[in-house]
Structure 1
Amino acid sequence: MVHSTSLVHHNNSFVFSFDSKASHNQSYSLFKRLPHSASLPSSSSPYGPSLLSSSSCCRVARVPTEPLELSPPAPEFNFYHEIARLKALCSKLASCNTLKEKLNVIDRDSRVRHFFGSHKNAGFSRVLASLNLCSEDLFLLKCLIAAGQEHVLSLGFQLGETEMNSTTSSIKSALYALAEMIENLDVYNGNGSAGFGKTHMALEDEEIRDLKKLVETLGEIERFYDCIGGIIGYQIRMLEFLVQKMCEKQNINWSQHINEVEECQFLEIHAPKGINLSEDTEYASQAAIWGIEGLPDLGEIYPLGGSADRLGLVDPNTGECLPAAMLPYCGRTLLENLIRDLQAREFLYFKLYQKQCITPVAIMTSSAKNNHEHITSLCERFSWFGRGRSTFQLFEQPLVPVVGAEDGQWLVTKPFKPLSKPGGHGVIWKLAYDKGIFKWFYLHGRKGATVRQVSNVVAATDLTLLALAGIGLRQGKKLGFASCKRNSGATEGINVLMEKKNLDGNWEYGVSCIEYTEFDKFGIVDGPHPPKSLQADFPANTNILYVDLPSAELVGSSNGENSLPGMVLNTKKQIVYEDHFGRQHSVSGGRLECTMQNIADNYSNTYSSRCYNGVEDKLDTFIVYNERRRVTSSAKRKRKHGDKSFHQTPDGSLLDILRNAHDLLSQCDIKLPEIEANEKYADSGPPFLIFLHPGLGPLWEVTRQKFYGGSISKGSELQIEVAEFLWRNVQLDGSMIVVAKNVMGSLKDNESGESILHYGQRCGRCKLQNVKVLNEGIDWTYGGNTYWKHDVQRSEALKIILHGNAEFEATNVVLQGNHVFEVPDGYKLKITSGSTGLATQLDPIEQSMMDNGSWHWDYKIIDNHIQLELVES
C-alpha cells in the first residue's frame, strides 16, 4: 500500500491531491474545523469537477483512502478505548439534572471505583474526608480521576518513561523515590498497619492549600468548558487531537478509529480581496473619518492573558516572571502604550467635535505569572490612566492543564499542581459573555469594539484601526480583519476566503483565518514561495479585529463548541518545566487552545448558487490591508545574544517604528538617514531614534501639518511628548527631548474623587521655528544602551520640560551643547538670538488664555480630510 500527498498547481489553483489504492466507501478527514457530522466528497462526487474549474484558490477535498494499521500506543494505554469510555461517561453526565445524579454516575466509572477501592489509596480517602469537602468538590476530584489523571493526586514520586532517559537517570530517579518514601514513612497509621507515603498522614498546610487550589482550578475548567463536557470533555478533545496528529503523520483516517462519520462537504480557500488603505487613499481617508465619528459607539478589547514565555521577562528586583503587558518598551510598559494610542484617538475626536469621549476598555487577564495582579496594580498605580475605574473591566481567563503528547497525561510540577497555562485568546468570547462584559459595553452605549494584542506595537499607526472600525460600523459588518503581507516563516496565521458547498446544495462564504499550527492540514508549506505563487498571496492574520458586539455575544452565549472558536492543540513547541525535585523536563505536549479570530467561522453567508467575483462586498466579514509595518510588528520573543534574526523581537519592532517615523517625516520635507535591512544593525544601534507621541496625530495627515522642513542627522535622537506642537525648518544633530506633563489635557477630580483627563484643557505647547540644535547626543559607543527600551547614555542633550499648561517658543536660534529648559505651570518661555548669545523671556500666561493657551491648532473636516489651522489667541 502506497499513499502520497502532493500540492499541485492546476489552472491557477492549488489542489491538494492524495494518491492511494482504496475503496470508495472510506474517506480521509483533512479540515479539523468542519463539524463532526460533516465529511468531504469522494472522488466520484459530482462536486469534484467544479473544484478543478475554480481559479485562484486552494482546494481541500476528501478523497477515498484505505485505512492503514496504526502503530499501537504503549501497551498500558489505548487512545481509542479511552476516548470511547470517556465519551460514554460524558454522555451519561450530560443527561443528569442534579449534582447527586452526577455523583451516582461518576461513582460507577471503572477508574473511580478502582481508585477509591484500592488499599493504597485508603489513606487519601481518609484525608479527603477530614477536609470536609463539599459534594461539588468531591465530584470535581472524581472527574479528574475518571479522566485518567489520578497521578495528579499522588503524594509519592512516580517513575515514568519520560523521566527515564538513560540508565543513569533511572537509577537516580529510583534513589529519589526511595529517599522520599523513607522520609515519609509512617510506621503506624492508626489502623495498626504500616504504610508508605503521605497519603496515610495528615497533609501539611502547603499541601492543603495546593489541594484546595487544585479543586478551585478544576471548578473553573468544569464551569467554563461546560459547553464541551467540562473536565471530561476537555480530556476527550485533547485525546482526539493527539490521535489525529498521530494519524496525520501516517496518513491514517483517524475518524474511523473514534467512530465519527462526517457529512459530505468540500472546501476551497482563496486569497481574500479587500480595501488596500495604502493604495486607495481617498477611501481610506473616508473610512478613517467614519471611525472617528463612530468613536462614541466603540469599545476596546485587549486579550492580555497569555503567558508570553518567549519574552523571558523577569522583574530585575524580585526575579519574578512577568507577563508581556509589563514589558518596558520605549520608556513605558506595553499596556501604557495601548492606552496612549487609544487616548490619541479620543483627543483627535475632541479636537474635531469639541466633545469628551472616554472609551470603555475590557481587558482579559489570567493568573499566569500573576498577570491579573500585575495589570490591576499597574492600572491603579497610574490612577486608571485618568479614565476612571468604571471605564475598565478586567476579567480573568481560566488556566488549563498541559498534557504530554505520548499518553495524554497531565504534566505535574508537584503533587496537586498540574502544569497549567492560559487556554488561548479564543476563550475571550465565551468568557466575556459569562462575565457580563457585553452587557457592560451596552450600558456604555457601545455597538462595536476594536481588538488588538499588547505585543503588536504598531497596530495604531496612522489610520489602520480607525478605518477598520469605520467600515465595520458604517456598513453593519459583524467582523473585520486588518491584514498585510505575510512574512515567510513567521509564526502567524493567514487570512483566507472560505468557500464551501453543503449537502443541501447551498454555498457558504466568509473571510476567516488558518493558524500557522494548522498549515499541515491544508498542505500549506511554510517557507519562500515564487512571487507569482498563490500561497504568497495569502495575507497575514494579525489579530487586529473589529467586532460587532451583539454578534459576538451570540457566539459567546451559544452554549456549544461554537463558543470556543478555532480549538487547536499545538505540540510543535517543547514544554519545559521543573518538577518538585528541581529537575528540568522538556517534553512534547500542549494544551487545548482557542483562537479568537476564528469567531469568523460563525459568520459565513449562504447563497443558493456559487459566487465568483466580488463576493466579499456582500459578506458579514471583511478585510482591509495596509503596509505591513503600519499593521503589525511584534515584541513577542527575546532576542538572544548573537542572534542575527530580529523577527518578532523588541529590537525588530523598534526598527519598524523608526521606519514609520522616516516615512512620515520624509513626507514633511525633512531629510533623514535611510534605514537599511535589519541585519545591518545586528551588531550596532539603529541609525537614529525618533519617538513621536500619538497625540500629534494619530492620523499622519494631521501630524504632517505640524512638521515641515529641516533635517535630522544620523545618530540623532528626537522625542516629542506634546500634542500642541509646531516644527518649522529645524535642523537636529544630537538629542532633543520635548516633554509636556499635560500632553493632551489636564486632570480634574470628579464627584467620586477620581482624577479624570479632560482633553484640550491646559495642555503644554511648543513652537520651534528656524532652529538649529547641535550637541553630542547619545553615546553610541556605550555598551549598556538598550535602544528598544529607550534606555540610553547621553553625552549632551537639549531638554524642554513643560509643566501644566507651560509654553515654549524658540525662533531663529542655534541651541548648541547641553541645555535644559524647564517651564513652570502658567508661564511662557521665549528663546531668541541676543547680542551676547541667547535671549530668554519668561512671562506669565494671561488669565484669559490659561485653558486654551496663547495659540492652538484648529481641526476641521473638509472633503473627508482633516485640515489644521494655527490660531493665535
Structure 2
Amino acid sequence: MSGQLKQAQTGAPHSGFCLKRGFLNAQPAYSYLYAPRLAQHRARQKVALPVEKLNHRCARLSSRAISKCQDNSQATSTEERIREQTARHSKLVREVAYLQKLVDTLRKLSTAQAKVDHLLQNERVVKFCTSCRPGHLFLNALGGLDSASTYLLLCLVAIGQDHILDISADQHGCDERLVALCTNLHHVDSFYDSIGGLPGYQLKCLETMAASAELPQACAAEQDTSSDTKFYMPQGLNIAGHHNRRAAADAAATGLEALPYMAEILPLGGAGDRLGLQCDVTGESVPTAMLPYCGRSLLSGIIRDLQAREYLYYKVFGSQETTPIAIMTSAAKGNHQRVQKLLADSNWFGRGKESFRLFEQPMVPVVSAEDGSWLLPEPLRPLMKPGGHGAIWKLMLDEGVFTWLRNRRREAAIVRQISNPLAGTDATLLALSGAGYADGKCFGFASCERRAGAAEGVNVVMERRLKRADGEGYEYAYNVTNVEYTEFDRLGVPDECLDGSQFSRYPANTNVLYVGLQAVEAAVKAGVKSGGGAALPGMIFNQGKKVTYMDVVSGEDKSVYAGRLECTMQNVVDSLAQRFNEPMPESLHGSLNTFVVYNQRRCVTSSAKRRRKPGSTMVSQTPDGSFLDLMRNAADLLARCGLSHVPEVGSVEKYLEKGPGFIFLYHPALGPLWDVIAQKIRGGALMHGSELVLEVADAALMDVRVEGSLLVHADCVTGSMESPHAAGTQGHSYATDIQVSHPDGRQTLYSTEPSSPQLAQCDAGAPMQLQTAGAGSEAAPTVPTTSSVVPFTRAGSPENQRLVFSDRCGRVRLTGVVVRNKGIDWASPTNCYWQHKVARKEAARIILHGQSEFEASHVVLEGDQTFEVPDGYRMVVSAAPAGGLRRALFPLHKRRPSWQWDYQMDAQGSIKLSILETARPPTYAPALRGTSAEPPFVYVI
C-alpha cells in the first residue's frame, strides 16, 4: 500500500472529530380498578407461555458449569452433562424469546396507558392478579397509582418477578415502600430506555446468561469467527524512567497549557463492598470516597491533586483557572448524600458550589444466576447495586452534564477513579492531557506494565474486519481499547509473559482516561438512537460472585451466585473507531485518534479497593499496598532531589511487620511535577525511621538532615480564602491575636500586626517576650485570651469564600539544618501507616498561620519542639551566642513575602525555578522622624 492510508467514508460522524485550541409531565391519575378487564380478556389470552425458572448453572460459562457437575456427581457421564446443559440453555433461549417479543411490542406503544392496557392481557399478569391473595392485594394497591407507576409494577409480573409484589394486608408502611419501589424502577426504566427499559434490562441479563451457557461446540464456533478481529500492542508516548524525562516534560507542558480547556470527571458511584468501611460514629457502611487515606478522604486527595495542577498553571502563566468537576454518585451506602456533605463541609474546597456538578447513578436489580429472579432481602425492596461506571456517559447526556461542560468552554476531560490515589503522581495526568489535546485525539488511556495472570484488563489496538453497508467487500475499523480479563478466552487474547519476563504481552488498563467531550457526546447520542453502543458500552453480567442475603420469601439466609448488568466506561472508545478501506500497517497505529501514554505502574495506579485480610501479605489493591507504592515513589523522588541518604522502603513482609523504612508526605502543590520539587529540595539526608511531612507549597530545603520527625504545616498553602467581591484586595487577610509581654510587666494584645504608633510606644531597645494568647497564658485580666493562634477571616461567611491563589501563604526556608529527635514510635500497636495515624515520641513542628514565614540556617533543632508563626510575621531561628536557639519575630513589611519562587517555562517545556528576594526594609518603621527603629521581638530558648 502506497501513499496516505485512505479513511473509509462509512465511518461514524464523530470519527473525524478534532479539538481546536482556543474554544471550547406527570402522568394523570389512574384510579380505577382492573378486575373487570382481566375477566373479559382472560378467555381469549393468546400470549407466549411463561417458562419455568432456571437453574443457575446454565448462567455459568460452560467449562465452569461442567466443573460444577463433576464436583456434585463423579458418576455422571459426559453425555448426561451435555444433555443437562442443553436443556438449561433451551429454557434460557425460550425465556429470552418471550422477553424479546414483549420488549418489541411495548416499544411500539407510545403512552404508559397503552402499555398498561397491553400488560393487562399478559397471561402472567392475569394469573397473578386473579389466582392468589397477594395478587388481589396488589390489584387493590394499583388504584392509587398513576399509569406510569402501574406500568412498572405490571412489568415486574410480566418479566417473572411477581415475588417482589408479595403484599400482605397487615404490612405497615406498604404504601411508602411501594412508592419507593416505583421510584427505583423508574430510574432503571429511564436509564435503559435505549434497550427497552425495565423489560429490556431483564432481557439483556438473560441474553448474557444464555450466551455464557452455550455448548462448547458453539463457543468454539464463536472463536472461529474471531479471525475477523485482531489485537496489537498499542504504540504511544512513554514517559517512564530517567531517559524519558525530556518527553515527559514536553507533554506535561502541553497539558499545562491545555488546562483552561480541561475538565475533571470522577465516577464515585461504586459501593466499595470489599473495603468494608464503616462510620466511626454510627457504624453505617460508607462508600470508597470516604476512605481516610494519608489523613484525609480519597475525594479530598483527588481535589488536592487538581488544585496543585491549577496552582502550577497560576505560577507559570499568572492566571487562576477553576476546573469544573463532574461527579457521578449513587444511592449505595448513602454515597450521594455523604459526598455532598463532604463537599459542603469542606466549603466546596474553596472552588465554589457552581464548579461542581453531581449526578446520581441508577441502582439496578441484582439477578440470581440460579433462576433469573431478583434477590429480595426486604418486602418490596429488591437488592439493588450501582450498574457499573459505564453508566456515566448516558447519565452525562441525560443530566445535561455535557452541555454544562461545553458552556464552560471545556473540550476534553481527565477521568480517574476514586480508588486510585496515585494517578496524580508526577507528570502522569498532565502528560496524558498534553498527548491528547495537542493532536486533537478523541480518547486516551494512561497505561503501564501488567503482571501476567493479574485480574485486570489490558489495552490493545483492536482491528475489526467488517462487511460494508452496501455488502460490497470489507472495511477495517481500528481503535485502542480495553479488553477485560474475563473476556480473554472468548476473544482469544493471550495472557502470557513477554520474553520470559513476569509481565504480560499487553499493558494494563488503569481506567485513567483522556476524553474528547465532543466525540464521546456524539457517540452516546448515536448509541441512544441505535439502542446500545456508546450509550451502554461494554455491557457485562458478572455472575461469578456469590451474594449472601436473607431471602424475605423463604425467611432463610441464602448465598447464591448473582450479578447485575454493568457497563464499562472505557469501552465507549469502541464507538470511536476509525474505518479504512484496507488494513492499516502497524507502523501507523500511533496516528489513530485513540492513544495510550505509558508510565511506571506505581506512578499511574495503585488502588485501594479492598481490605487486606488479617495476617495476609497480599497487599495488591489494598490501602496498605497503595501506601507502600506511595513510599516507593517518595524514595525515587528524594533520590532525584539529590539526598545523600534515602532509606530503603523495605519488603512487603517487613513493611507489614514494622512499617516502612521512612515516611515522606507532601502537599501536591509543592510540585506536582517531580522536576519542580527537586528544585525546592536539594541535598541533605533522610535517615532510616525518619518522617518528613511538608504541607506547604513554598518550601526551600537545602542540605537538611532529618533524624526523627519534621512536620511543616501551613494553614494557607497556595493563597487565602476570600469573598468573591473582595478578591484582589488586602482587606480579607487572616488576623491573629498576638500577646506581647513587656519587661515592666505591661501586656498588649494585638488582633493583627502592631501598627507603627503602637510600636513607638514600646520600650526601645528592650527585648520583649512574645507568646500567642492562650488559655494557659498569664495575661492581665483586662486582656482577653484566645485559643492558640486561631486565624479568622474578616470578609463574609465561610460558605461564600473562594480560594484565591496569591503570595499570601505560608513559607519555610531551611539551610544546613539538622533535625534530631526521637520521632515516630515504630513499636506502637496503634500505628496505621496508610492513614498516617502514627504515635510519636518527639517531633519538630513548624506551624505557619495565614501569610507567615519560618527561616532557619545552620542550626540543630533538637528534641520535641514547636515553632508557631502568627499571621503576618517571619520567624528567624539561629544559634544563640550562649547556646540554644534564638528566635526572632519580624512583621512582614506591607504584607509582602521576604522571598518567593519564580517559575519560568523554557522553550523545551521544562519549568525552571529561581528565588526572588524582596528588599528588606528596617524591621519596624519609625513612628516619628528621627525616632530609632524598633528591634524585633526576640526570645531565646
TM-score by length of 1: 0.83
1:540 to 508, 519, 523: 508
1:744 to 712, 718, 739: 718
Whether 1:862 and 2:913 are equivalent positions in the alignment is no
What are the Cα deviations for residues 701-748 of structure 1, in whole angstroms up to 9, with x where unaligned?
A: 111100111110111111100000001001101011000000111110
The 3-state SS of whatever aligns with 1:449 is strand
2:166 to 154, 175, 179: 154
What are the Cα deviations for residues 745-778 of structure 1, in whole angstroms up to 9, with x where unaligned?
A: 1110125961100112411000010000010111
RMSD: 2.2
Partner of 2:838: 792
Whether 1:845 and 2:892 are equivalent positions in the alignment is yes
Residues 70 and 247, structure 1, Cα contact 8 Å, conserved in 2: no
User: Which stretch shows the higher mean deviation, 840-849 or 720-729?
Assistant: 840-849
**Aligned-pair CA distance for 1:523:** 4.3
The 3-state SS of whatever aligns with 1:78 is helix
1-structure distance, mates of 2:211, 2:639: 53
Partner of 2:16: none
Amino acid at match of 2:360: E
Residues 451 and 503, structure 2, Cα contact 8 Å, conserved in 1: no
1-structure distance, mates of 2:157, 2:304: 48
Identity across aligned pairs (percent)? 44
Whether 1:97 and 2:126 are equivalent positions in the alignment is no
2-structure distance, mates of 1:97, 1:535: 54
**Aligned-pair CA distance for 1:607:** 1.2
**Aligned-pair CA distance for 1:533:** 7.9
**Aligned-pair CA distance for 1:471:** 1.5
Partner of 1:817: 863
1:519 to 488, 492, 507: 488
**Aligned-pair CA distance for 1:317:** 1.5
Whether 1:135 and 2:180 are equivalent positions in the alignment is no
The 3-state SS of whatever aligns with 1:868 is strand
Residues 808 and 829, structure 1, Cα contact 8 Å, conserved in 2: yes
Residues 691 and 708, structure 2, Cα contact 8 Å, conserved in 1: yes
Residues 641 and 683, structure 2, Cα contact 8 Å, conserved in 1: yes
Residues 631 and 664, structure 2, Cα contact 8 Å, conserved in 1: yes
Residues 482 and 625, structure 1, Cα contact 8 Å, conserved in 2: yes
Query: Structure 1: where are the runs of 5+ without partners?
Result: 1-31, 33-66, 156-197
Partner of 2:98: 85
Whether 1:561 and 2:573 are equivalent positions in the alignment is no
What are the Cα deviations for residues 381-404 of structure 1, in whole angstroms up to 9, with x where unaligned?
A: 000000000000000000000111
**Aligned-pair CA distance for 1:605:** 1.0
- C-alpha change, 1:499 and 1:122, in structure 2 (3 Å) is closer
1:674 to 635, 648, 658: 648
Whether 1:773 and 2:823 are equivalent positions in the alignment is no
Residues 113 and 148, structure 2, Cα contact 8 Å, conserved in 1: no
Partner of 2:585: 612
Residues 327 and 333, structure 1, Cα contact 8 Å, conserved in 2: yes
Alignment of 1:821-836 (within 5 A): 821-835=867-881, 836=883
1-structure distance, mates of 2:123, 2:429: 55
- C-alpha change, 1:717 and 1:584, in structure 2 (3 Å) is farther
Alignment of 1:492-641 (within 5 A): 492-504=456-468, 505-524=474-493, 529=497, 531-532=499-500, 536-558=504-526, 559=528, 560-562=531-533, 563-580=535-552, 584-641=557-614
What are the Cα deviations for residues 210-260 of structure 1, in whole angstroms up to 9, with x where unaligned?
A: 221111111011111001111111001100111122226x4435999xxxx
Residues 498 and 505, structure 2, Cα contact 8 Å, conserved in 1: no
The 3-state SS of whatever aligns with 1:247 is coil
Alignment of 1:677-696 (within 5 A): 677-696=651-670
What are the Cα deviations for residues 658-709 of structure 1, in whole angstroms up to 9, with x where unaligned?
A: 1111101111111211223323323221111110111011011111100111
- C-alpha change, 1:405 and 1:820, in structure 2 (3 Å) is same
Amino acid at match of 1:136: A
1:226 to 176, 193, 209: 193
Alignment of 1:280-359 (within 5 A): 280-359=244-323
The 3-state SS of whatever aligns with 2:181 is helix
What are the Cα deviations for residues 632-683 of structure 1, in whole angstroms up to 9, with x where unaligned?
A: 0001110111011110110111011111111011111112112233233232
Whether 1:384 and 2:429 are equivalent positions in the alignment is no
- C-alpha change, 1:110 and 1:122, in structure 2 (3 Å) is closer
1-structure distance, mates of 2:135, 2:504: 62
**Aligned-pair CA distance for 1:535:** 7.8
Partner of 1:49: none
What are the Cα deviations for residues 295-345 of structure 1, in whole angstroms up to 9, with x where unaligned?
A: 110000000000010000011211100000000010000000000000000
2-structure distance, mates of 1:524, 1:620: 23
1-structure distance, mates of 2:409, 2:454: 38
Whether 1:252 and 2:218 are equivalent positions in the alignment is yes
Partner of 2:54: none
What are the Cα deviations for residues 554-595 of structure 1, in whole angstroms up to 9, with x where unaligned?
A: 122231211110001112222223345985432111100000
Amino acid at match of 1:733: E
Partner of 1:408: 372
1-structure distance, mates of 2:551, 2:697: 52
The 3-state SS of whatever aligns with 1:337 is helix
Residues 432 and 556, structure 1, Cα contact 8 Å, conserved in 2: no
1-structure distance, mates of 2:501, 2:464: 23
- C-alpha change, 1:710 and 1:154, in structure 2 (3 Å) is same
2-structure distance, mates of 1:790, 1:582: 44
Partner of 1:705: 679
2-structure distance, mates of 1:83, 1:442: 41
Residues 265 and 503, structure 1, Cα contact 8 Å, conserved in 2: no
**Aligned-pair CA distance for 1:129:** 3.7
Whether 1:803 and 2:849 are equivalent positions in the alignment is yes
What are the Cα deviations for residues 184-233 of structure 1, in whole angstroms up to 9, with x where unaligned?
A: xxxxxxxxxxxxxx2xx25412x322221111111011111001111111
Whether 1:273 and 2:235 are equivalent positions in the alignment is yes
Residues 274 and 616, structure 1, Cα contact 8 Å, conserved in 2: no
Partner of 1:121: 134
Partner of 1:479: 443
User: Which stretch shows the higher mean deviation, 271-280 or 778-787?
Assistant: 271-280
1-structure distance, mates of 2:455, 2:280: 29
Partner of 2:157: 145
The 3-state SS of whatever aligns with 2:523 is helix
Amino acid at match of 1:659: R
Residues 785 and 792, structure 1, Cα contact 8 Å, conserved in 2: yes
2-structure distance, mates of 1:868, 1:489: 44
- C-alpha change, 1:396 and 1:85, in structure 2 (3 Å) is same
User: Which stretch shows the higher mean deviation, 465-474 or 338-347?
Assistant: 465-474
2-structure distance, mates of 1:730, 1:661: 16
2-structure distance, mates of 1:867, 1:583: 67
Alignment of 1:29-108 (within 5 A): 71-72=85-86, 78-108=91-121
**Aligned-pair CA distance for 1:818:** 0.1
Name which one, 1 or 2, has greater alpha-carbon Rg.
Answer: 2
What are the Cα deviations for residues 415-449 of structure 1, in whole angstroms up to 9, with x where unaligned?
A: 11111100000000000000000111011111110
The 3-state SS of whatever aligns with 1:506 is strand
Query: Structure 2: where are the runs of 5+ without partners?
Result: 1-60, 62-80, 469-473, 726-795, 919-941
Q: How many residues get paired?
A: 752
Residues 641 and 678, structure 2, Cα contact 8 Å, conserved in 1: yes
Amino acid at match of 2:893: E
TM-score by length of 2: 0.77
2-structure distance, mates of 1:749, 1:129: 53
1-structure distance, mates of 2:479, 2:226: 19
- C-alpha change, 1:151 and 1:787, in structure 2 (3 Å) is same
